[in-house]
Structure 1
């Protein structure tokens, strides 16, 4: 049972190894790093997309032969290596010891009063502020905001709830603290991807219930909105999702009751709890929210369901989809033209929110 719990808990995470490994490979090749031949100029759209897909497919066995904590360590190392050799326009600044764990990502024209709380993905077992610097650097440059990437506690050494508590504390903190010290925020955005997108959507509901100052907007990239793992073999896009599909097909072989309790044991929270499945919570009175999701990924259906339910409750939620993109393709900026298109769309959305 515990072995299945580990498997269920990491069904996103193991495939994120493939994504990050592909990103590292493509980034280094694009910039002439390592032993690869330098690619002159920006890769063409079709070529870049195909290389990403092929590398994702080829890296599904990255953690093969490793078990338990050794597998988690390998996953985390892969994800953190994403930023190795990355040329950032932003300054990375760490807050004081009494502040929440994380890092400020500050572009040259970023204004201290404009703040984004960014919550990274990685299946709640991996990822860090370092692993997602490609996204946080781009967001800071795009929005002229200082991005605080929270380093929330991960499973399995911590509870799932511990990570949520860290995100809540970080939000309270950035309302009154910027990169230069104590000062109220003028403009606040909550953003996240994948598992971090789930935390972001759960966070804005908690902010509403606590009566706190709401963020001006929310941005969720390929978010997980529903943790239920039932009827896996019947999920739409299981064949077209090169990241999640192969592992989901393996999970589908496990009897549903066993998979349910394995998930509960691994995460120590019921999959039906809105803390883990934002789709199952109350979605009224939420800040303007933008969701990006690929039309090829398995999370598409639940992202659309979340948006439909939130709109029915009176909340403003926009969904923008892209065809044939891998999960959280934003990590491939500036390599994929679609990644740059996605960031431009985020900028347009936030400009409309501020208008």
Structure 2
């Protein structure tokens, strides 16, 4: 990269020192901090989801540093432990990208979907998101390739981006049974994976490479410029992201910005990090889902408004009182199943129409 990062190293060291000093002060427990974040409970299923999220957090409350991340990763993977899947799971083989095929009984080899999981670019895996990939394969009749892209901090943020690009190009020519061209191709992702999804379709356009039939982004992060974190609408109703963002908001903005730039080797205003900052014209039909109760909702609306103004056929669907990426809790949540039905209707419209028309 043309500009250096030596000054960021210094700022990062200062930030670390500042955080260590703060930790010496009396702080409320993590459980106490989380009590200020709540979501109206409208069903027993929703309460079960909230309990699951809380249990994931509690599992790592007494662990710090690298061990904490390992515990969180393991806890996320455990979400699929008791799932009953209709799809076959097949790990990829070298020299293919690292990941797994998720193949429903009705899936056809030439229909393919690249899935990019979420997890704040530091956690999550194909296993943790099998509830989504299994449902997408059954819904679309496509063979889903769930990419196991490189995660931070072991790897750089942009290493994960490169993995996504390479996987898409590979998937155009390779199916679960070997070499063959795809005649239906979708890119989908959630949260951090939704960010990579939106960044990937912009890169494909810029490189004049074949665009997918459509793109699906579930609760994506579209703007990581980190301004006025606590002033974001839905700050106190986002039970999944709120407490984490609350900690970040306590860091002085210049240090927070510098820390993000240091970690990602790109400024937060770079479209690789914040897709809303880039050119949003000429993109494929895109569907975005977001909860009306989550922190990311306002930025998603801004992304959609800008993309539509630049001529991109993008649609946004919202659900009230849902957690971030509630799709993970299918079939428990009826709202998750409704969201998948909406995805199916969107893709049917794209496939059956000679040209895209807004519903």
Distance 2:328 2:14 in 1: 30
The answer to which of 329-338 and 74-83 deviates more is 74-83
Identify the residue that residue 132 of structure 2 maps to in structure 1: 135
Instruction: Say yes or no: does 1:323 pair with 2:295.
Output: no
Identify the residue that residue 182 of structure 1 maps to in structure 2: 179
Identify the residue that residue 53 of structure 1 maps to in structure 2: 50
- Residue 194 of structure 1: CA displacement? 0.2
Q: 1:45 to 1:136 in 2, by over 3 A?
A: farther
TM-score, normalization by structure 1: 0.87
- Residue 68 of structure 1: CA displacement? 2.2
Identify the residue that residue 312 of structure 1 maps to in structure 2: 309
Identify the residue that residue 234 of structure 2 maps to in structure 1: 237
- Residue 246 of structure 1: CA displacement? 2.0
Write out per-residue CA displacement over residues 299-346 of structure 1, whole angstroms, 9 at most, x where no aligned residue: 000111110000010000000000000000000000000000000000
- Residue 275 of structure 1: CA displacement? 0.5
Gaps of 5+ in 1: 8-13, 19-43
- Residue 248 of structure 1: CA displacement? 1.7
Identify the residue that residue 156 of structure 2 maps to in structure 1: 159
* Larger-Rg structure: 2
Distance 2:59 2:194 in 1: 25
Give the aligned length: 321
DSSP 3-state at the match of 1:99: coil
DSSP 3-state at the match of 1:73: helix
TM alignment of 1:135-284, pairs within 5 A: 135-284=132-281
Cα RMSD between the aligned structures? 2.0
Identify the residue that residue 67 of structure 1 maps to in structure 2: 64
Q: 1:55 to 1:84 in 2, by over 3 A?
A: closer
Write out per-residue CA displacement over residues 63-103 of structure 1, whole angstroms, 9 at most, x where no aligned residue: 22322211111111111111112211001112321111111
DSSP 3-state at the match of 1:200: helix
DSSP 3-state at the match of 1:76: helix
Identify the residue that residue 38 of structure 1 maps to in structure 2: none
Q: 1:126 to 1:204 in 2, by over 3 A?
A: same
DSSP 3-state at the match of 2:235: coil
Gaps of 5+ in 2: 1-11, 20-29, 35-40, 353-359
Checking the alignment, whether the CA contact within 8 Å between 2:59 and 2:75 is kept in structure 1 is: no
- Residue 267 of structure 1: CA displacement? 2.1
2:344 to 334, 342, 347: 347
Identify the residue that residue 117 of structure 2 maps to in structure 1: 120
Checking the alignment, whether the CA contact within 8 Å between 1:2 and 1:265 is kept in structure 2 is: no
Checking the alignment, whether the CA contact within 8 Å between 1:113 and 1:184 is kept in structure 2 is: yes
Checking the alignment, whether the CA contact within 8 Å between 1:205 and 1:283 is kept in structure 2 is: yes
Checking the alignment, whether the CA contact within 8 Å between 1:45 and 1:336 is kept in structure 2 is: no
- Residue 45 of structure 1: CA displacement? 6.5
Write out per-residue CA displacement over residues 113-142 of structure 1, whole angstroms, 9 at most, x where no aligned residue: 100000000000011111100100000000
The answer to which of 242-251 and 275-284 deviates more is 242-251
The answer to which of 260-269 and 44-53 deviates more is 44-53
Identify the residue that residue 30 of structure 1 maps to in structure 2: none
Q: 1:102 to 1:110 in 2, by over 3 A?
A: same
Distance 1:339 1:2 in 2: 43
Distance 2:174 2:248 in 1: 43
Checking the alignment, whether the CA contact within 8 Å between 2:221 and 2:296 is kept in structure 1 is: yes
Identify the residue that residue 336 of structure 1 maps to in structure 2: 333
Distance 1:55 1:2 in 2: 36
- Residue 55 of structure 1: CA displacement? 4.3
- Residue 4 of structure 1: CA displacement? 5.6
